[in-house]
Amino acid sequence: MKRKDFIKLSGMGLGAMLLQNLTAYGTPIDPLQALDRVDPKVKKELADVALNAAKSKGASYADVRIGRYLNQFVSTREKRVQGVANTESYGIGIRVIANGCWGFAATNNVSRDGIAKAAEEAVAVAKANAKIQGEPVKLAPQKGYGEVSWKTPLEINSFEVPVKEKVDLLLNVNDIALQNGASFVNSVIFAVNEQKYFASTDGSYIDQDVHRIYPSFTVTRIDRTSGKFQTRTSLSSPMGMGYEYMHPKASEKVEGIIPRYKARYDILEDVKFAALNAAEKVKAKTVEPGKYDLVLDPSHLWLTIHESVGHPTELDRVLGYEANYAGTSFLTLDKWKSKKFQFGSNKVNVVADKTQVGSLGAVGYDDEGVKCKKWDIIKDGVLVNYQAIRDQAHIIGLEESQGCCYAQGWDDVQFQRMPNVSLQPGTAKLSVDDMIKDVEKGIYINGNGSFSIDQQRYNFQFGGQTFHEIKNGKIVGMLNDVAYQANTQEFWNSCTAVCDASDYRLGGSFNDGKGQPSQSSAVSHGSATTRFNGINVINTARKI
């Protein structure tokens, strides 16, 4: 995973870090270069070179993506800047169907000759594979949109914010952590801008400008005498937004035992609580294993939704296309066809939505030129739909794709990726405090921790960042060594209450891995605080 490579940087010198690790993201550039743009007219001309070359070599369909992918990383630890890097990756990927089979080739030589050669290679790959191919590819029809464009709605382009402002903010974050008892602190701001141009033989020329941001930190508290250490990571969410996410707003804050945030984040406040939480965690009592009612905050629940609802409803997994890597799915077609498979209780309503403002998955059009939309996946607890792309739509009787195609870069082939998949808030008025008042023996979990789920998405285990014990409707203190294990269907059927829309927030994954070669995508999951009854909690403490 590329994010792991990034996280591993701690301790390396700046130069070494840039050369050996960040090139995975692209080419290091001057921050100001990130503000340059390629004229869509030029991109259209280059795209036509690719489409014409592919057709002349025998492609029955071709699409081309000219991508400029920009990343900015600012990372610090304690009182030191660990790295500031801007990277750029620019090139062209050409996908074709020839002799009924897919072929793909990519190059960073974005000249007419380079593009024509790549188109020719893509056709050669398709023809070589057609010899061992079974069924020909069947694409759902897609009308061309002509020349159109889309841009992430944002107030402040992160790449226009001076690096110094980000460095100063992160060093301030670190100071607050250290003042509040942290032994170590790492903090990072990660910004992404995908400038994507898509064209296809269907007649679409789509120019998009997509922005994402992810601020995060980890606070570590060490007790040398006992040899114990604990961490608490940020409760921020990666967002499909500009730098405005970093500007706190009272209306976007959720008060509680730990402050949490909606579409604006207060990193300075969160880090203070994190340092205090980490100190409290070192001394917290170890959990008594057994059955508990869980009250799960959206900063935690997003990951459970991602793993146990998002992934098993990916149609490529259901059909077996991911069998050799991410796995298949227990949500087989017969369960969907029955129209009565009770995935969860009737409180469970889940939608897929690629249009949600502020979400990581929001774009105007997907990476095979399909306009984005919103649809139900779980309705009143029943499985009603999946997530599909053009060459799968016919399998579930759809006339058109659901617009779930994505590639992490110009040099990766696009395939089915998860749209934003979110649990809908409850329709009856219910606050978190009122939910907790009702719980006799429970645990209130914030933030995401350890996560693991089987390859068909039945059995999972999740940790968290903070665990507060609930006794007779009151929070009585912090617990340690908590993880819950459940079966997906049993878990969602034990959902007894969902707070109302006033508590709804997005969480998300900045780096969801899938595919071979593995590709990363970013996806949000919204929910309000939700209650699950009688869940099995284990104690994870060990001695070595």
CB 92 within 8 A of CB 107: yes
Other CB atoms within a 10 A radius of the CB of residue 130 amount to 16
**Taking CB under 8 A as the rule, does residue 483 contact another protein?**
yes
Distance, CA of 357 to CA of 363 (rounded, Å): 9
Selected binder of another protein within 172, 485, 494, 496 (CB under 8 A): 485
Shortest separation between residue 103's beta carbon and another protein, angstroms: 6
Scanning 140-245, the segments in alpha helix (DSSP H) are 163-179
Sign of the CA dihedral 257, 263, 269, 273?
A: positive
**Taking CB under 8 A as the rule, does residue 99 contact another protein?**
no
Selected binder of another protein within 146, 226, 250, 251 (CB under 8 A): 226
The interface region with another protein, picked from 43-51, 196-204, 313-321, 501-509 by CB under 8 A, is: 313-321
Sign of the CA dihedral 289, 290, 295, 296?
A: positive
Q: Which is nearer to another protein, 251 or 324 (CB)?
A: 324
**Taking CB under 8 A as the rule, does residue 477 contact another protein?**
no
* Strand partners of residue 294: 443, 532
Q: Which is nearer to another protein, 146 or 517 (CB)?
A: 517
Footprint of another protein on residues 182-221 (CB under 8 A)?
Answer: 183-184, 220
* Strand partners of residue 293: 442
**Taking CB under 8 A as the rule, does residue 413 contact another protein?**
yes
Angle in degrees, 0-180, between the axes of helices 112-130 and 40-56, rounded to the nearest 10: 40
**Taking CB under 8 A as the rule, does residue 501 contact another protein?**
no
In one-letter notation, the amino acid at residue 11 is G
Would you call 497 helix, strand, or coil by DSSP? strand
Distance, CA of 177 to CA of 172 (rounded, Å): 9
Q: Which is nearer to another protein, 346 or 450 (CB)?
A: 450
**Taking CB under 8 A as the rule, does residue 14 contact another protein?**
yes
**Taking CB under 8 A as the rule, does residue 124 contact another protein?**
yes
**Taking CB under 8 A as the rule, does residue 314 contact another protein?**
no
Footprint of another protein on residues 525-544 (CB under 8 A)?
Answer: 536, 538, 540-544
| Secondary element (H or E) of residue 422 | strand 420-423
Distance, CA of 279 to CA of 523 (rounded, Å): 32
Site string (229-258) toward another protein, x via CB under 8 A: x-x---------------------------
Selected binder of another protein within 157, 345, 487, 496 (CB under 8 A): 487
**Taking CB under 8 A as the rule, does residue 454 contact another protein?**
yes
Q: Which residue has the tokens 């399998």?
A: 395
Shortest separation between residue 145's beta carbon and another protein, angstroms: 25
In one-letter notation, the amino acid at residue 280 is E
Selected binder of another protein within 50, 66, 84, 315 (CB under 8 A): 84
